[in-house]
Structure 1
Amino acid sequence: MKHFEANFDGLVGPTHNYAGLSFGNVASLNNAALESNPRAAAKQGLQKAKALADMGMVQGMLAPQERPDLYTLRRIGFSGTDAEVLQKAAKEAPALLNACCSASSMWTANAATVSPSADSRDGKLHFTPANLVDKLHRSIEPITTGNILQATFSDSRFFSHHSHLPEHASFGDEGAANHTRMCTEYGHAGVELFVYGQVATDPSAPKPTKYPARQTLEASQAVARLHQLDDESTVFIQQNPGVIDQGVFHNDVIAVGNQNVLFYHEQAFLDTQAKLDEIRSKLNTELHFIEVPTNKVGIQDAVKSYLFNTQIITLPNGEMAIIAPTDCQENPAVFAYLNELLTLNTPIKQVLYFDVKQSMQNGGGPACLRLRIAMNQAELAAVNQHTLMNDALFGRLNAWVDKHYRDRLSVKDLADPQLIIESRTALDELTQIMKLGSVYQFQR
C-alpha cells in the first residue's frame, strides 16, 4: 500500500490582525498594531497550498475558528446582545477582546500532535489537540480544534482522537510545532522527536529566563502515552533555553525534519550529540543531520527569516525540497546558506520560495501554517474529501475569501459589531463548502 505525508494547512480567518499577543514571538511583538490584510493573508496561504498540490503532494485545508469568540467573553462576565458584549469588552478590557479576536488557529502546526498508524501499537492514526495554555488567545482553541479534526478525520476505523491535555502549566502543550518524525519511508515505523522547553516538575532543571518555555517534558510524555508509542519510537530532546530567550518560541523556529533528514541550528538543543546518537540507535538507516553553524547563520537571522520554519517535503520523484518564505531570499546570510546547501551531498535538491508575508509579520512561516500527517491510501480515502485541495476547492475558497474578507483590518476594528456578522456568515458558508457539520455551534 502506498504511503505519503499529507499537509493540512490552516485557512486564515476573517479576523487576521496584528495585536501583538504572543510574548516571546519577536515578529508578533515587533509588528503589533500594524494594519493587516485578511484577504491577502488567506490568498497567500491558499496559493502555497495549491502550489504543493500541483507538485503532486497530498494537500488539505483545515477551517479557521469563529472569531470574535463571544462564548469566551460571556464566560468571563460580559453580557447583553452580541454587539453589547463586544462593545463592553472593547471599553473595559481591550486586551481580552484582542485575544478573543485572534485568528491564530491559522497556524495549524500548533493545532495538534499527530502520530501515524505505523508507529502506534493499535495501528491507528492518533490526534491530540494542543492545549496551548501559555497564551490566552490560543488557549481558547482546543475544543474547536478537536471538532474540526474530527469533522476532517471522522472514521474511527482509522483515526483515534484524544482530548487535549489538562489545562495546567505542567502540561503546556504546543502541538506539532515541537514534534517531528524521522523514518525511512512514511509507511515504515519511525522515531518521533518530542522537543520540550522545560521540565515542569523539576525546579532545578534548565529553563529560559526571559521568555516562557511553552512545551513541557511532562506534556510530551503524556502525548506519547496517549498515542501508544513505545520507547523505541520516541526521543525526548530539550530545546536550548538560551535560544528560547532569543525569540525561538517553538522548536520549528530552529529545526525541521523530514524522513531521514534533520535540519537544525547549531544552538537548537541541549545534549545534541547524545540525542543524535539515540536517534541513530533507534532508527537503523542512513541519516542526514544537517547542522547550520552560527558563523554562517546567526540566531537572529534564523528567527527573522524563519529559515527553519520552512517545510521539507519529499516530491513524487523522491527528491526533497524546502518550501521557504521569500524573507529567506531577502536575508543575505540565509540566502547564501541555502544556495550553499544545494551544493552539498544531501537529499535536499531544491528551495522554493513563497510570499506569506501576512503570516510572517504575525510570527508564523510556511511550517506554522501546516499540520503534517503521514498516512496510507486507505486512511486518505477515509478523510473528508471536501477538505482536500484541488482546482475546484481552490476556486471555491478564493471566491469565498473575495466575498467575505476585508482587505484591511486594524486592532480598533475588532470592536465593530459588523465583524461578528461577517465572520459568522463566512463560516456558515464554509461549513457547506467543506462539509464540516456543526463544528462551531457550541460557541453560539
Structure 2
Amino acid sequence: MKSYEVNFDGLVGPTHNYGGLSYGNVASQSNSQQSSNPKEAALQGLAKMKALMEMGFQQGVLAPQERPDVAALRRLGFSGSDAQVIERAAKDAMPLLVASCSASSMWVANAATVSPSADTADGRVHFTAANLNCKYHRSIEHPTTSRVLGAMFADQKHFAHHAALPAVAQFGDEGAANHTRFCRDYGQAGVEFFVFGRSAFDTRYPAPQKYPARQTLEASQAVARLHGLGDDGVVYAQQNPSVIDQGVFHNDVIAVGNGEVLFYHEDAFLETDKMLAELQAKLGKRGGNFQSICVPRSQVTVEDAVRSYLFNSQLLSRADGSMLLIVPEECRGNERVWQYLQDLTSSGGLIREVKVFDLKQSMQNGGGPACLRLRVALNQTELAAVNPGVIMTAPLYGTLTQWVDKHYRDRLSENDLADPQLLLECRTALDELTQILKLGAVYPFQIN
C-alpha cells in the first residue's frame, strides 16, 4: 500500500502581530512592536501550500486559533462583556492582551508530535498535542489544537489522540519542532528521533545559561510511551546548550531530517558521533540506510543559521529519489548560506535542488518553512479517512485566498489589538472557515 508524508501547513490567523513574545527567539524579539500585515502573511503561507501541491506533494491546511483569547483573559481576572474584558486588559495589562492575541499557532510544527501507524503498538496514527508550557502565549493553544486535530483526524479506527502533557516545567513539550522520523519508506517502520534541551530530573545533562531549554527529555519519553513506540525504534539526543544560547530555541532551527537523511549543523548536538551511530544501527535493522549531511561551522556559522533559517527548511523526497530543500528568501540574502547551498546542490549529492519562498511576515516573527508545517505520514487508507475539507486542492486554495481578502486587515499594530471590533472580525472569519474546512464547532465561541 502506498504511503505519503502529508504536510499540513498552519493558516496564519487574522491577529498576526509582532508582539516580541518569545524570549530566546532572535527574530521575534528583534521585530517586536513593528506593524504587521496579517493579509500578506496568510497569502504568503497559502502560496507555499499551493506551490508544493502543484509540485505533486500531498498538502493540507490546519486552522488558526480564536484570538484574542477572551476566555484566557477572564481566567486572569478581567470581567464584563467581551469588549470590556479587552478594554480593561489594554488599560491595565497590555502585555497580557498582546499575549492573548498571538497568532503563533500558525507554526504548527509545535502543534503536536505525530507517530505513524507503522511505528505504534496498536497500528494507529498517534497525536499528542504539545503543551508549549515554556511561553504563556503558546500554553493556551493546546485545547483548541486538540479539537482541531480531532476534527481533521476523526476516525478512531485509524487515529488516536492524546491530551497535552502536564503543564509544568518538568514536562515542557514543544511538539514536532523537536521530533523527526527516519524511514526507508513512509509506510514502513521507522526510527523516531526526539531532541531535548535539558533533563528535568537528571543533573548529568548540561543546560543552557542564557535562554531556556524548552523541551525536556522526560516530555519526549512520555510522548514515546503514549504512542506505544518500542525502544528499538526511538533515539533521544540532546541539543547543544551553547546553540540554544545563540537563539536555537528548537531543534528545527539547527537540523532537519526526512526519509533516511539528516541535514544538520556541526554544532547542533551533544555527543553527535554516538547519536549518528545509534540512528544508523537502529534504522539499519529496519531496512534503512541512514545518511547525514553535516554543515561545517567554517562555512555556515550558528549565527548565519539563526538569521537565515537555513535549517528551518522543508526537506522533501521526490519521485526520482533525490531531495528538494524549501528555504526562506533570507537564505538567498545571506552570502555564506547561499554559497553553501549552491555548492551543495551542484555536488551531485542527495539534495539536488533548492526552492526559495518569500515568507517574510512569518520570518520576522520567528518562524520559517519548517515551523509552518506539521508532517503526518499516512497510508492510502488513512489518507482517505482524513477530513477531506482540510486537504489542499486548487478550488480550496481559491476559496481560502478569497476568504483572507475578505476578512483580514493589511496592517496591525499593538494599539489595534485593543479594538473590540478585531475580536468580532476574527470570530466571523473563523466561523466561516470552519464551514469551508468542514471542521464543525471547534472554537470556544462556537461551543459556549
> What is the TM-score of this pair, normalised by structure 1?
0.99
Alpha-carbon separation, structure 2, partners of 1:324 and 1:344: 18
Alpha-carbon separation, structure 2, partners of 1:416 and 1:18: 16
* Matched residue, 1:116: 116
Alpha-carbon separation, structure 2, partners of 1:420 and 1:52: 32
User: Mean Cα displacement is larger for which, 283-292 or 398-407?
Assistant: 283-292
Alpha-carbon separation, structure 2, partners of 1:317 and 1:30: 41
What is the CA distance between 1:4 and its match in structure 2? 1.2
| 1:329 pairs with one of 309, 328, 332 | 332
* Matched residue, 2:357: 354
Kindly report the root-mean-square deviation, in angstroms, between the aligned alpha carbons of the 2 structures.
0.9
User: 1:178 is matched by which residue type in structure 2?
Assistant: N
What is the CA distance between 1:204 and its match in structure 2? 4.8
Q: How does 1:288-437 map to 2 (within 5 A)?
A: 288-437=291-440
Alpha-carbon separation, structure 1, partners of 2:349 and 2:207: 33
Q: How does 1:145-294 map to 2 (within 5 A)?
A: 145-284=145-284, 285-294=288-297
The superposition leaves residues 391-421 of structure 1 with CA deviations (integer Å, 9 ceiling, x where unpaired) of 1100000000000000000111110111011
Alpha-carbon separation, structure 1, partners of 2:242 and 2:423: 41
CA contact (8 A) 2:195 2:239 kept: yes
* Matched residue, 2:128: 128
User: 2:131 is matched by which residue type in structure 1?
Assistant: N
The superposition leaves residues 296-317 of structure 1 with CA deviations (integer Å, 9 ceiling, x where unpaired) of 0000110000000000011234
Alpha-carbon separation, structure 2, partners of 1:399 and 1:188: 39
CA contact (8 A) 1:288 1:346 kept: no
Structure 1 segments (4+ residues) deviating >4 Å: none
What is the CA distance between 1:7 and its match in structure 2? 0.1
* Matched residue, 2:43: 43
What is the CA distance between 1:196 and its match in structure 2? 0.1
Q: Which runs of 5+ in 1 are unaligned?
A: none
The superposition leaves residues 190-229 of structure 1 with CA deviations (integer Å, 9 ceiling, x where unpaired) of 1000000000112453000100000000000000000000
Alpha-carbon separation, structure 2, partners of 1:115 and 1:434: 24
What secondary structure does 1:289 align onto? strand
User: 1:82 is matched by which residue type in structure 2?
Assistant: D
Alpha-carbon separation, structure 2, partners of 1:83 and 1:319: 54
* Matched residue, 2:85: 85
What secondary structure does 1:9 align onto? strand
> What is the TM-score of this pair, normalised by structure 2?
0.98
What secondary structure does 1:21 align onto? coil
CA contact (8 A) 2:264 2:294 kept: yes
The superposition leaves residues 319-368 of structure 1 with CA deviations (integer Å, 9 ceiling, x where unpaired) of 21001101101110000001111123432111000000000000000000
User: 1:147 is matched by which residue type in structure 2?
Assistant: R
CA contact (8 A) 2:14 2:38 kept: yes
User: Mean Cα displacement is larger for which, 226-235 or 200-209?
Assistant: 200-209
Alpha-carbon separation, structure 2, partners of 1:394 and 1:345: 35
Aligned length: 444
CA contact (8 A) 1:57 1:316 kept: no
What secondary structure does 2:4 align onto? strand
What secondary structure does 1:39 align onto? helix
Alpha-carbon separation, structure 1, partners of 2:371 and 2:415: 26
Alpha-carbon separation, structure 2, partners of 1:197 and 1:352: 30
* Matched residue, 2:442: 439
* Matched residue, 1:103: 103
